[in-house]
Structure 1
Amino acid sequence: MASTKTPPVTQAAEDRPTAGRSWFVVVSLSIAAATATIQQSAVLPLLPRLQQSLHASVTSVSWAFTISMLCGAIATPLLSRFSDMYGRRKMLLLTLGLLVAGSVVGAVSTSLSMLIVARVLQGISAAMIPLAIGAVRDLLPPEKMASGIGILSATMGIGVGLGFLLSGVIAEYSSGYRSVFWILAAMSTAATVLTALAVRDVRPPTGGRPDLPGAILLAGSLVCLLLGISQGKSWGWSSAGILGLFAGAVVLVTLWVVVERRTAEPLVDISMITHRGTVGASLASMLLGFALFAGFTLMPNFVQTPKQVGYGFGASVLGAGIFLLPTTLLMLVVSTFAGGLVRRYSASNLVAAGSVVAAASSLWFVARHDHSYDLYVATTLLGLGVGLSFAALGTMAVEHVEPSKTAVASAVNSLSRLVGGSIAGSATAALLASDTIKGTQVPTVHAYNTSFSIAAACVILAAVIAAVFGRLNRKPAR
């Protein structure tokens, strides 16, 4: 068995940047993480254009989004484990390099198959947030660590919102889709340079052998799960194909757990996943991921609905992005204060409080959605609630694990959010498609109310889970 001994704390402390340089580390990694997240949402508003430009069906073009999430789900735990084995800096630069390559391929793509290759390369960048959190925990002094992790954790929501805005601007002033990929290529190149300048490894790699059987089984189970979720609407939730995929996911994940428990150097330490110090953060992250992606999926659809059907605002793609601007800005603002709040109130309490505010956002929409200011209130509450929760979740996920396992713990947390977001996208699409105005394919306002009610229930449950696990993990007073 390869040694997993970590270097003395004093050595890591000596190699950490000074307080004056800490901001550069956080800003550089935040730009990289936000860029990696932007690519997830920037494609969504452009799907109709992709269908037209590439002469493909709606189902085929939807893979431009689905394949990115599938690859991200697989890459997140794998690259996080590799960062412990081979060094965080190498994995960060590799991830960003693949994002640059994928963006360039997307910008010059002339066929759907070429675009899918681009999205596979881009999707791997979903591992960026846990890799960055691991680097921040290694590099920053203790008094700045919570703030740094909070800002990085919030970049998921910030990036999603900026992705919609980017697509909105492109849709407003151009007729194609390639400009988005060229902009992503430029942003990811700049992020690569900044990361190369800001990050260095202060802990020697642990080494070891890659857990290939574990990686294959985990990849297979995630592919089955997310493919089943993403295709449930088109294939039919009770069809043999969907039921077979879900059954396959259960079988493969069971085999994965068995293999990981018997492997000397597993891809993911199963005991860490089931530990009471991390499982609460993972469950809350999945539920909050559902609420965030539900909001970012439902709100643009709602505001772009023509007023003639009895609701909606007939907004453009750019207008829809502007409606979501309060969420994006507040997630950024709240994350900057997260460090001080975590030190004062504890991460689990802040996750619980933020979840309650996020629930208020969904419930506000259910009660009031007739005027534009109603939507701005809802997106403001969503930004406050999810921003606070995500910023604190980054700390909640890693505060009870060894420093050498930070990246893996962050990866599990990010993976939970990714799965929650995937479920949100498919579930809300199914709800909207099943409850339409008679004689049309336009969803009823009742369908939106039902979807937001489910989102509210999810974040209320997240609040309960965070509060309970926070109490269980509370250190006894001395």
Structure 2
Amino acid sequence: MDIRLLRHPSVLAADLMVVLVGVGIYPLLSLVVRYVQTPAGAGYGFGYSAAFAGLMLVPYSLASFAASRVIRPLMRRTSLELLILVGSGLLIISMVVFLFGRSNLILLLVSMALAGFGIGVIFAIHPAQLHAGVPREETGSANSFYQVLRYVGYSLGSALSATLLVATIPPGGSLPSEVGYSAAAWLGIGVLVVGTIVASVLNLHVARHPVDVLPRPERVRS
């Protein structure tokens, strides 16, 4: 992808937000799975098996699939900017539920479902934003660049959350303290709030000052 195409606000909004969403919400998947496997003797956790912990991802997957079905007709009747805010809000709420309600298994499942639905909404809308800002012949490369940024966000979020957990392992211990989970949740909430603000500012700019698809930049000839 020609980086100069990022000059279009809708393209920049989608690309920036996917990184921040990856950093903010992806750690929730590993945090929940690890939390429910932690032996209760640690002062938190449920001591469930790895197989049961894996089932905690089911609400996330189902809700993400459902969102992709629900959001498509809404995209024709509702502004993309509003739908992005709804998706972002669900992600923030899911992290808040994990932060304050993770000692309750039902609330953990609710947190995962909210995260899955929010992700489904955002990932369904971003391609439309990309296609609105790049020439037709550049849509393939724009989508590929978007996917790369998506996994960059995932990797950063996973590394940061793991670092926070490891940093709270007491001397001589093998398990992180519960403070590490709270710190990771607060980090996710903060990053998601920043992502929502950035996307809102850029999308508001597009709404107030519509910009046509930028022409394909001409290559410099030597």
Structure 2 unaligned regions, length at least 5:
211-222
Which one-letter code corresponds to 2:32 in the other structure?
M
Which one-letter code corresponds to 1:435 in the other structure?
T
1:6 paired residue number: none
Picking from 397, 405, 417, the partner of 2:150 is 417
TM-score (norm 1): 0.42
2:107 paired residue number: 374
What secondary structure does 1:474 align onto?
helix
2:215 paired residue number: none
2:55 is the counterpart of 1:322? yes
Map 1:228-247 → 2, pairs under 5 A: none
2:126 is the counterpart of 1:383? no
* Contact kept in structure 2, 1:348 and 1:393, CA below 8 Å: no
**Fraction of identical pairs, as percent:** 27
1 CA distance for matches of 2:209 and 2:153? Answer: 33
2:7 paired residue number: 274
* Contact kept in structure 2, 1:352 and 1:462, CA below 8 Å: no
1:407 paired residue number: 140
Offset of residue 304 of structure 1? 0.8
Offset of residue 397 of structure 1? 2.2
1:339 paired residue number: 72
Picking from 392, 397, 400, the partner of 2:130 is 397
Which one-letter code corresponds to 1:457 in the other structure?
G
TM-score (norm 2): 0.88
2 CA distance for matches of 1:368 and 1:437? Answer: 24
Offset of residue 438 of structure 1? 4.7
Offset of residue 443 of structure 1? 0.7
* Contact kept in structure 2, 1:433 and 1:441, CA below 8 Å: no
Go from structure 1 to structure 2 and tell me whether the alpha carbon gap of 1:476 and 1:427 turns closer, same or farther (over 3 Å shift).
Answer: closer
1:148 paired residue number: none
Q: RMSD across aligned C-alpha pairs, in angstroms?
A: 1.7
1:297 paired residue number: 30
Offset of residue 439 of structure 1? 2.9
Picking from 7, 17, 41, the partner of 1:284 is 17
Picking from 157, 160, 182, the partner of 1:427 is 160
The Cα offsets for residues 131-178 of structure 1, whole Å up to 9 and x where unpaired, read as xxxxxxxxxxxxxxxxxxxxxxxxxxxxxxxxxxxxxxxxxxxxxxxx
2 CA distance for matches of 1:352 and 1:444? Answer: 33
Offset of residue 285 of structure 1? 0.6
1:446 paired residue number: 179
Which one-letter code corresponds to 1:318 in the other structure?
A
* Contact kept in structure 1, 2:98 and 2:108, CA below 8 Å: yes
2 CA distance for matches of 1:415 and 1:323? Answer: 27
1 CA distance for matches of 2:201 and 2:78? Answer: 15
Aligned residues: 210
Map 1:26-425 → 2, pairs under 5 A: 268-425=1-158
Offset of residue 406 of structure 1? 0.7
The Cα offsets for residues 342-383 of structure 1, whole Å up to 9 and x where unpaired, read as 222232321222111101111111111112112112112111
* Contact kept in structure 2, 1:348 and 1:469, CA below 8 Å: no
1:190 paired residue number: none
2 CA distance for matches of 1:340 and 1:459? Answer: 26
2 CA distance for matches of 1:343 and 1:476? Answer: 21
2:200 is the counterpart of 1:467? yes
Which one-letter code corresponds to 1:440 in the other structure?
G
Go from structure 1 to structure 2 and tell me whether the alpha carbon gap of 1:426 and 1:476 turns closer, same or farther (over 3 Å shift).
Answer: closer
Offset of residue 311 of structure 1? 0.7
2 CA distance for matches of 1:474 and 1:391? Answer: 19
1:34 paired residue number: none
* Contact kept in structure 2, 1:349 and 1:466, CA below 8 Å: no
Offset of residue 275 of structure 1? 2.8
2 CA distance for matches of 1:396 and 1:289? Answer: 18
Go from structure 1 to structure 2 and tell me whether the alpha carbon gap of 1:277 and 1:374 turns closer, same or farther (over 3 Å shift).
Answer: closer
Which one-letter code corresponds to 1:472 in the other structure?
H
What secondary structure does 2:76 align onto?
helix
* Contact kept in structure 2, 1:348 and 1:392, CA below 8 Å: no
* Contact kept in structure 1, 2:9 and 2:203, CA below 8 Å: no
1 CA distance for matches of 2:48 and 2:122? Answer: 29
The Cα offsets for residues 178-228 of structure 1, whole Å up to 9 and x where unpaired, read as xxxxxxxxxxxxxxxxxxxxxxxxxxxxxxxxxxxxxxxxxxxxxxxxxxx
Offset of residue 332 of structure 1? 0.2
* Contact kept in structure 2, 1:304 and 1:316, CA below 8 Å: yes
Offset of residue 338 of structure 1? 1.8
- After TM superposition, where is structure 1 displaced by more than 6 Å over at least 4 residues in a row? none
* Contact kept in structure 1, 2:165 and 2:177, CA below 8 Å: yes
2 CA distance for matches of 1:304 and 1:381? Answer: 21
2 CA distance for matches of 1:475 and 1:401? Answer: 19
Which one-letter code corresponds to 1:433 in the other structure?
V
Offset of residue 475 of structure 1? 6.5
The Cα offsets for residues 393-436 of structure 1, whole Å up to 9 and x where unpaired, read as 22222222111111111122111111110101111111111112
Go from structure 1 to structure 2 and tell me whether the alpha carbon gap of 1:295 and 1:386 turns closer, same or farther (over 3 Å shift).
Answer: same
